[in-house]
Amino acid sequence: MVRKTDVKIVEGLRGGEGITEIHHIVSKEELNGHGNMYAHVILKPHSSIGWHTHIGNTEPYYVLKGKGVFVDNDGSRTDIFPGDCCIIECGQSHSIENNTDEDLEFMALIYNE
């Protein structure tokens, strides 16, 4: 089967600022109970995904393009670049910011504990 990617445009995702494009690669149903999301995410310039907690699931981010700031569970802030993988473990919180004038693109996979 071949189909077009399902794209959602979200403003203020998880209490963040600006615009996030979520290009859902497979649906929650296609993950067969193993997870909630597998997506190519584009965080527009000067946008963020707000602080949130993962209960019962985990979410790695793999940075494809651009740069930004990952805010980890302990509140530490780390500059991120293409090839970096941000790991969010079950029960941890995090946020991500694009404080540049270019898109920040990453893959996100939310899978169950």
CATH assignment of the domain containing 103: 2.60.120.10
Domain tally for the chain? Answer: 1
State the residue range of the domain holding 77.
6-112
pLDDT tens per residue across span 6-57: 999 999 999 999 999 999 999 999 999 999 999 999 999 999 999 999 999 9
- Whole-prediction pTM: 0.95
Q: Is 71 part of any domain?
A: yes
Under the banding of pLDDT at 50, 70 and 90, the label for residue 4 is confident
Percentage of the chain surpassing pLDDT 70?
100
pLDDT of 3: 83
State the Cα–Cα distance between residues 18 and 44, nearest whole angstrom: 7
- Write the CB contacts of 76 (distance below 8 Å, at least 6 apart in sequence): none
State the Cα–Cα distance between residues 21 and 4, nearest whole angstrom: 15
Q: Is 1 part of any domain?
A: no
State the Cα–Cα distance between residues 21 and 39, nearest whole angstrom: 10
State the Cα–Cα distance between residues 48 and 12, nearest whole angstrom: 8
Q: Is 96 part of any domain?
A: yes
Residue closest to 54 by CA, chosen among 25, 14, 27: 14
Averaged pLDDT for residues 104-112: 97
